[in-house]
């Protein structure tokens, strides 16, 4: 089973804001929606999906298990709670959101529980998020690379995370880029802007197309219909080799997300 190259992220969106974002995106043709237990919006996302009337098998729904639910006796129950909020019998993809702080729950334990959830039919695919190379190796040892669909990581032109991406891809693990627009920082970059002007595209479209052409899945979020519609058009944009090479030079190791007490020792 493949992971859609393009979807909608819902990080930091709650209440009516996330209902409107998901509803608008679905009406525009989005079919992949990404949420998480810690976003505290699964209920609203489920509400928007249910109201859309779109058949479940046309959608690709992802959620992520929060660190407080990693213990074997808690993980599957927490996933069932997420399913109830999302008003669905299964997820298409369930991820471990962050590594267990200070290895309180061993990788083998939570990956084993996640694989059990897959075997129970609660999720079609499983994967990880914010995992380093070493943590990916531990996850592979626990359940096998064939059971790890993706590693969702911060990845944008200013943080290209090449070592992690290359290792994941070498194991057949798809990379999903989050924060692909770097909170809008890369949209002001002169290189991105010049490419956009020449291609008659927006800086956001150029950045998203760069990530997808690098074989990464993307999940940009927006609360504005115009931006949701514009971002979706990135799927039809093709960058030349010279453009890709120029964007490759923008990497500066600029990490935007590294929560204290949770983030691993990054590669």
Domain membership flag for residue 112:
yes
Residue 144 CB neighbours (<10 A): 12
Domain membership flag for residue 176:
yes
Domain count for the chain:
1
The DSSP annotation for 92-144 comes to EEEEE-SPPGGGSS-HHHHHHHHHHHHHTTSEEEEEEES--HHHHHHHHHHH-
Domain membership flag for residue 261:
no
Q: For the purposes of burial, counting CB atoms within 10 Å of the CB of 35, is it exposed (0-12), middle (13-18) or buried (19 or more)?
A: buried
* CATH of residue 170: 3.20.20.100
- Cβ–Cβ under 8 Å, residues 167 and 140: no
> In which domain, by residue range, is 166 found?
8-184+215-221
In whole angstroms, what is the distance from residue 223 CA to residue 230 CA? Answer: 12
Domain membership flag for residue 150:
yes
Q: pTM above the 0.95 mark?
A: yes
In whole angstroms, what is the distance from residue 176 CA to residue 189 CA? Answer: 22
In whole angstroms, what is the distance from residue 111 CA to residue 142 CA? Answer: 7
Tokens of 100: 């267990």
pLDDT of residue 196: 98
pLDDT of residue 1: 66
39 as an active site residue: the answer is: yes
Domain membership flag for residue 206:
no
Q: How far apart are the first and last CA of the chain?
A: 29
147 known ligand binder:
no
Q: Average pLDDT by consecutive 10-residue portion of the chain (267 residues)?
A: 94 98 98 98 98 98 98 97 98 98 97 98 98 98 98 98 98 98 98 98 98 98 98 98 98 97 96
Nearest Cα neighbor of 122 from 67, 68, 61, 46 is: 61
């Amino acid at each position: 089973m493949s992971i859609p190259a393009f979807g909608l992220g819902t990080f930091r969106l709650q209440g009516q804001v996330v209902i409107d974002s998901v509803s608008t995106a679905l009406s525009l043709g989005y079919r992949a929606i990404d949420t998480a237990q810690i976003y505290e919006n699964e209920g609203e996302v489920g509400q928007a999906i249910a109201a859309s009337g779109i058949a479940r098998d046309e959608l690709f729904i992802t959620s992520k298990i929060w660190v407080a639910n990693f213990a074997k006796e808690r993980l599957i129950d927490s996933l069932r709670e997420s399913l109830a909020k999302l008003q669905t019998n299964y997820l298409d993809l369930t991820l471990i959101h962050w590594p267990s702080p200070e290895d309180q729950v061993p990788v083998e334990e939570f990956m084993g529980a996640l694989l059990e959830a897959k075997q129970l039919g609660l999720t079609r695919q499983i994967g990880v998020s914010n995992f380093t190379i070493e943590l990916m190796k531990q996850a592979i040892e626990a359940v096998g690379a064939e059971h790890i669909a993706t590693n969702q990581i911060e990845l944008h032109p200013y943080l290209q995370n090449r070592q992690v991406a290359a290792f994941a891809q070498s194991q057949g693990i798809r990379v999903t880029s989050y924060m692909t627009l770097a909170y809008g920082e890369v949209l002001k970059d002169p290189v991105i802007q010049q490419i956009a002007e020449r291609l008659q595209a927006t800086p956001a479209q150029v950045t998203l197309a760069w990530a997808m052409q690098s074989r990464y899945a993307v999940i940009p979020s927006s609360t504005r219909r115009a931006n949701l519609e514009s971002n979706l058009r990135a799927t039809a944009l093709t960058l030349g080799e010279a453009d890709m090479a120029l964007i490759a030079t923008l990497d500066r190791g600029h990490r935007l997300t590294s929560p204290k007490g949770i983030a691993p020792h990054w590669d």
